[in-house]
Amino acid sequence: MAHSLLLLFLATTSLATFAPYYANLTFQPPRTLSNWSNLTVETRTGTFIGALNDTYPDVRQFLRVPYAKPPVGDLRWLPPQQLEKSSRRYDSTRYGPACPQYVSSTATTYNRYAPPNLLINLGESLNEGSVAWSTSEDCLSLAVWTPAYADNTSKLPVALFVTGGHGTMGGIDIPSQVPEQWVSRSQEHIVVTINYRVNIFGNPKSRALDETSLSLLDVRAAVEWVSENIEAFGGDPENIMLWGQSQGSALTHLYTLAFPTDPLVSKFGVLSQPPSVKVDLSTTPDPYVGFDIVAKALGCNYGTDADAELECMRQVSWVQIEEFINRYSGEAELDFSNYIPDERYIFTNETTRYIEGKVARGPEIRSNTASEMPTANRTATDQTQRQWLCKGVQESALRYEHGLDTYRYLWAGNFSNISPEPWLGAFHWSDLLMIFGTYGKDVGHISELEVDTSIAMQDLFLAFLKDPRALESEGWAAFEPDGANGGLVLEFGKGPAVRNVTGSWLDAGCYNPSVPMRLSG
């Protein structure tokens, strides 16, 4: 009987539940101003010349804005260095290069089924097997999208996005993650996306370095720049959301623990956080061996002299370094995606940080997809899904215990233009197509449900960005793991565009391994 009632609840809780929200939420139409020539923005570190977006001319974009000194020469493998005051004028109408990475020749879900999720590398195939042509060491830049009318008095909320990529790839210029449609539609917020160092350049694991979690420190440098300068673009420095997906969500999560007292942002978004991005020192006898292997292969064999090894490696071309890693086929694993706990920025015991109150205050969106890492083998997918979902459940419970609001959602949409193979389901990162409004960049039929789902996700994200306290009255309650039915979670795209499901239904497999995970059909 209880099971029947639950099914009835799930079937009847639909978009109608959120009718008050959609009735009250209004979006400003594009504003007709006599002067939309505010395409030159002055900041402390330079003057940036942007452009109106070609497809959405009510959107202003600045595609290359350096936020730290180029990490080249003696600055390679050092924490990002703050830019000095400058009157330099920058052409920001073109993207800057992403950070050094390569295009793998190995077939994956991302280069077989999801090309809009890959960095644009002009002229390269998706499995080129070489250094990415559009990457460079001088890569610490960000991009800003604003409504065209915005100026230094607008005080718009800011969504600062950290891209994913397994810690080995990624960057701003990924078609599925360009926010022009979302900003055009809302006319009420700003989106910033950042480049940060990845693989051996962001996580070098050299014995000679005090800090190897350079990717996290790059995120911090970008936050500092945005906090200081976003007002000039029309943003509100007191209302910044730091959010990311996959490796970007892991960095966002780590950020909350590394900078608990001065986060410089007021809210967070952790979308599909991996189960772990930390080296397990109890099972990894020498986490630095990968850097040694690369150094010796490239002529920097200095034995136990780690300082000499590092200095030598600073003289080697980044292209040589990336090509060696790309082609390496030795027995020892080269893994530059997981961070070594240093107890300064990356902590072995995160629960202790929560207990001690050493976590940034602020509400958080936390999500999973219904099929994070799909394979044609349903059992294998189920096992992987359990790891990813249960990590989110665990973190949400920790936050709840320490008075931090978490708004959870499950992405469950299985649309043929996004998931061309039925077994893919609502797979890892594909919810970003809904949030950014880029689902139309995939070839295929777009259903009315797909459009409605994107609208619902964009609207609720914007509502969170503007004032999370208003969400409960609009249908999205903060998650309470010990509440009725195990708390409430929003599900997007499965039947109606959005509906409530219960933690008891979604999370049961985290408490009872015999219960199958809830995968998208």
Distance CA(181)–CA(458), nearest Å, equals 10
Torsion of Cα atoms, 442 then 492 then 520 then 446, to 10°: -30
For 360-404, the DSSP string reads --S-EEEEEETBSS--S-HHHHHHHHHHHHHHHHHHHHHHHHTT-
Q: Pairing state of beta strands 102-103 and 130-131?
A: antiparallel
The structure tokens listed for 215 are 């990717």
Rounded Cα distance between 209 and 314, Å, is: 13
Task: Give the DSSP letter of residue 1.
Answer: -
Radius of gyration of the chain (CA): 23
Cβ-proximal residues to 111 (8 Å cutoff; 6+ apart), any chain = 104, 118, 126, 127
Burial 386-418 (b: 16+ CB within 10 A, else e): bebbbbbbebbbbbbeeebbbbbbbbbbbbebb
Give me 77's structure tokens.
């493998």
Residues 158, 270: Cα–Cα separation, whole Å:
16
**Structural tokens at position 89:** 């004028």
Roughly how many angstroms between the first and final C-alpha of the chain, as a whole number?
25
Q: Which residues pair with 130 in a beta bridge?
A: 103
CA distance 282 to 279: 9
As a whole number of angstroms, the distance between CA 98 and CA 172 comes to 7
CA of 248: how far to CAs of 133, 223, 232, 337, in Å? 23, 14, 26, 12
Active site (catalytic) residues: 246, 372, 428
The token pair at 61 is 């974009």
- 3-state SS, residue 12: helix
Q: Distance between CA atoms of 153 and 141, rounded to whole angstroms? A: 24
Rounded to whole angstroms, the Cα distance separating 369 from 381 reads: 12
